[in-house]
Amino acid sequence: MNGGDGGDVAAAPDGPPLPLDWKFSQVFGERTAGEEVQEVDIISAIEFDRSGDHLATGDRGGRVVLFERTDKKEHGGNRRNLEKTDYAISRHPEFRYKTEFQSHEPEFDYLKSLEIEEKINKIRWCQTANGALFLLSTNDKTIKYWKVQEKKIKKIAEMSMEPSKAAGNGNVSSTIVTSTHKPHLANGGYTSLSNDLLFPAGGIPSLRLPVVVTSSETNLVARCRRVYAHAHDYHINSISNNSDGETFISADDLRINLWNLEISNQSFNIVDVKPTNMEDLTEVITSAEFHPNHCHTLAYSSSKGSIRLIDLRQSALCDKHSKLFEEHEAPGSRSFFTEIIASISDIKFGRNGRYLLSRDYMTLKLWDINMDSGPVSTFQVHEHLRPRLCDLYENDSIFDKFECCLSGDGQRVATGSYSNLFRVFGGHAVSTEATTLEASKNPMRRQVQTPSRPSRSLSSITRAVRRGGDNPGVDANGNSFDFTTKLLHLAWHPTENSIACAAANSLYMYYA
């Protein structure tokens, strides 16, 4: 597998590109000062479709919200035109709310006495067809296949239409009203044969029938096409579409299953890391993704910081990997937190599939799948938090799962951090680009002056006293961070320098 002719990290022979100047684009669901965020409204998944014209978000309340792009006319009407234009041109993409639907509901597994949350863990777009949008969404246990399509609205016309006019229009009501071949009773009434209504000749003058007409208005309707359930004993952490357009994978802590989109009652277990004795368990699967071009190749990461590349052509059960990517720790650097911070929370393939990006708690790593000796580049994200690992462990922040993403041309990578910050790095081997932005402030909004008070929990304040009064919200370099606000989910537009990221219940968009 080589890099192909598309723009990926190695396709910049003249050196790294210049750093981008990021600007605020728009925000959806922005909170007012002092507004309390409901738990069910917090965004838990973000995904652009292949064209970048649609964006989907999922939240902890089980809802999926779709947004569509509104500025397409400025630069062509289809994805082919977008790909032909210069990627470096700065645009201001604009999206608007399209529709939303309830994807999952809370459930209870009575056999295991287990409550299943409605929270959307992942969203993946599928191929569009006949103007309809298709996507997969999953919570901890159940995957659903959705079709979103515009339907023309049918309305009931006037109810006071006269039978004579109805007969003249030749519609359905005329066949009901003017039934003249039926036998009549002597008193001028009507009878019924075989449960059929027999109307008198000329119809009933007082009868009023509704007439249904199709208006020019349309309404977006979301319909669940398939439900893929009862295939995972543990929580689903990943779903990924195959490039063949027919299959997808779902992964939990110990297994990866292969599904056909059209078959919901069976799946094939292709990876199983569950030991015979669970006491021998040393690592779990944390993320899995199909190769963007090769339908037989996929990668999955583990809690021990390794990434395995597997080939579905080798065997039905891929218990042996074709390549292993891992970075060996330096001698003498091992500590209590080593294994925890080594766990990979997310992996993403570059657009042409040669490069693979992984995110662990402290760093971003870029891997060349042709070189398994070590990462091509390592980007320090949370190195300033290393002195605080004990505090992070106490408040469980060390187990936060941050996502990562690559630009469509492979020149840059991005991931989130605390205080609703996200960081963008130059993906070129010699690039020094490192930009930090806060996705919780709208520069277009007038800032309200509020009494300043530290946004720290009681436990952090007591730790500050115990440590001699130092400020736990600022590191040695003066970088501020707030563990209670974290930017876990973000996505890069597939063809432009535009990033969508979630800060609690708000969706922020930036462009360069």
Lowest pLDDT segment from 183-187, 290-294, 335-339, 356-360: 183-187
Q: Of 300, 493, 479, which is closest to residue 414 (Cα–Cα)?
A: 493
158 compared with 185, residue with greater pLDDT: 158
Q: How far apart are CA 334 and CA 343, in angstroms?
A: 14
Q: Which of 356-359's residues contact partners 24+ apart within 8 Å by CB, and which partners?
A: 356/299, 356/307, 356/325, 357/404, 357/405, 357/406, 357/413, 358/301, 358/307, 358/404, 359/402, 359/403, 359/404, 359/415
pLDDT tens for residues 272-311?
A: 999 999 999 999 999 999 999 999 999 999 999 999 999 9
Are 143 and 175 contained in the same domain?
no
Q: Do 474 and 480 form a contact (C-beta atoms < 8 A)? A: yes
Round to whole Å and give the CA distance between 240 and 76.
29
pLDDT band at residue 4 under the 50/70/90 scheme? very low
Q: What pLDDT is recorded for position 479?
A: 52
Same domain, 310 and 417: yes
| Residue 257 lies in domain | 23-154+216-478+489-511
pLDDT recorded at residue 384: 93
Task: Please indicate, yes or no, whether residues 202 and 138 belong to a single structural domain of this protein.
Answer: no
pLDDT value at 418 more than 70? yes
User: Per DSSP, which regions of 202-314 are E strands?
Assistant: 212-228, 238-241, 247-251, 255-260, 263-272, 285-290, 297-302, 307-311
- Cβ atoms of 299 and 309 within 8 Å: the answer is yes
Determine the pLDDT at residue 444. 66
229 and 95 belong to one structural domain: yes
- Structural domain ending residue among the three candidates 140, 175, 210: 210
Same domain, 109 and 258: yes
Same domain, 339 and 415: yes
Asked whether residue 15 is domain-assigned, the answer is: no
For the cut 70, the answer to whether the pLDDT of residue 161 exceeds it is no
* Residue 5 domain-assigned (yes or no): no
Q: Residue 152 burial (CB < 10 Å; 0-12/13-18/19+)?
A: exposed
Q: Do 37 and 170 share a domain, yes or no?
A: no
User: Quick one: 255 and 357 in the same domain?
Assistant: yes
Q: Is 298 exposed, middle or buried (0-12, 13-18, 19+ CB in 10 A)?
A: buried
Which residues, 6 or more positions from 46, have their beta carbon under 8 angstroms from its beta carbon? Answer: 55, 56, 57, 123, 489, 490, 491, 500, 501, 502, 507
CB 420 within 8 A of CB 438: yes
- The answer on 67 and 31 residing in a single domain is yes
- 76-104: pLDDT as tens digits: 444 444 444 444 444 678 999 999 999 99
Q: Are residues 297 and 165 in the same domain?
A: no
pLDDT band at 47 (very low <50, low <70, confident <90, very high): very high
Q: 6 in a domain, yes or no?
A: no
If DSSP codes are grouped into helix, strand and coil, which group holds residue 385? helix
Task: Please report whether residue 18 resides in a domain.
Answer: no
Please tell me the distance from the alpha carbon of residue 334 to that of residue 326, in angstroms, as a whole number. Answer: 16
- Please determine, for residue 175, whether its predicted confidence score (pLDDT) is greater than 80: no
d(CA 365, CA 357): 6
Same domain, 79 and 67: yes
For residue 276, which amino acid is it? T
pLDDT over 90 (residue 397): yes
Considering only residues 444 and 337, tell me which one the structure prediction assigns the higher pLDDT.
337
Find the mean pLDDT for residues 255-271.
96
Q: Which of 179, 210, 241 is the last residue of a domain?
A: 210
| Greater pLDDT, 198 or 148 | 148
Instruction: Give residue-wise pLDDT tens across range 99-119.
Output: 999 999 999 988 888 899 999
Neighbours of 410 (CB within 10 A): 24
Which pLDDT does position 474 carry in this prediction?
Answer: 52
Q: What is the CATH number of the domain that holds 80?
A: 2.130.10.10
Residue 7 located in a structural domain: no
Residue 368, pLDDT > 80, answer: yes
- Of residues 211 and 479, the one with the higher pLDDT is 211
- Residue-level pLDDT at 480: 59
| 140 falls within a domain | yes
- 2 assigned to some structural domain: no
Element at 46 (helix H, strand E): strand 43-48
In the chain, pLDDT over 90 holds for what percent of residues? Answer: 58
Q: Mean pLDDT over all residues of the chain?
A: 81
pLDDT band per the 50, 70, 90 thresholds, residue 326: very high
- Under 8 Å between Cβ of 415 and 491: no
Q: Same domain for 96 and 177?
A: no
- DSSP string for 201-230: TT--TT-----EEEEEEEEEEEEEEEEE-S
pLDDT mean over 333-355: 92
Mean pLDDT confidence for 371-382: 92
The residue among 210, 228, 254 that closes a domain is 210
Task: Evaluate if residue 316 carries a pLDDT over 70.
Answer: yes
CA distance to 77, 113, 461, 498, per residue, from 407 (Å): 21, 43, 39, 9
Cα–Cα distance between 137 and 122 in angstroms, integer?
Answer: 6
Yes or no: say if 164 and 204 are a contact pair by the CB < 8 Å rule: no
- Is 13 within the bounds of a domain? no
Number of domains, the chain: 2
CB-side exposure of 3: number of CA atoms within 13 Å?
15
Dihedral (CA of 312, 313, 314, 317) sign: positive
pLDDT digits (tens, 9 = 90+) for 451-473: 333 333 333 323 332 333 334 45
